[in-house]
Amino acid sequence: ETGVTQSPTHLIKTRGQQVTLRCSSQSGHNTVSWYQQALGQGPQFIFQYYREEENGRGNFPPRFSGLQFPNYSSELNVNALELDDSALYLCASSLAGGGYGYTFGSGTRLTVV
């Protein structure tokens, strides 16, 4: 069984740039959620995709956007990067929304300079 894979593992971007992070869900999982984890904090929910549609969104501005593809993989796009966007971005996959727990990928560590 393949777990959740994320790419890239590390990334350095300049303020104002745009970034795309990618996630492949665990085999059989149809729901993907994205979380942002700043240093010393718990992960914060960004949004969730279920069957290629956004299925809930946390308190993040519109410059955070996403996609889910027919194979359930997903992308997180962040425009106009700010220094505070520096964080570990975690993708989590689950079945049917996630009521039974999530499997997390190892994350993408984004540094904005």
Partner 1 sequence: RKEVEQDPGPFNVPEGATVAFNCTYSNSASQSFFWYRQDCRKEPKLLMSVYSSGNEDGRFTAQLNRASQYISLLIRDSKLSDSATYLCVVNPHSGAGSYQLTFGKGTKLSVIP
**Interface with partner 1 (CB under 8 A):** 31, 33, 35, 40-45, 48, 55-58, 90, 92, 94, 97-107
CB 36 within 8 A of CB 87: yes
Distance of closest approach, residue 91 Cβ to partner 1, in angstroms:
9
Rounded Cα distance, 54 and 9, in Å:
24
Distance of closest approach, residue 68 Cβ to partner 1, in angstroms:
14
CA dihedral 67→73→76→77, nearest 10 degrees, is -60
Q: Which tokens hold the place of 112?
A: 């904005």
Nearer to partner 1, 2 or 14 (CB): 2
DSSP single-letter state for residue 25 = P
Coil, helix or strand at residue 28: coil
Nearer to partner 1, 61 or 97 (CB): 97
Nearer to partner 1, 44 or 65 (CB): 44
Phi-psi region of 56 (alpha: psi -120 to 50; beta: other; left: phi over 0): left
Distance of closest approach, residue 16 Cβ to partner 1, in angstroms:
27
Distance of closest approach, residue 99 Cβ to partner 1, in angstroms:
6
Nearer to partner 1, 19 or 92 (CB): 92
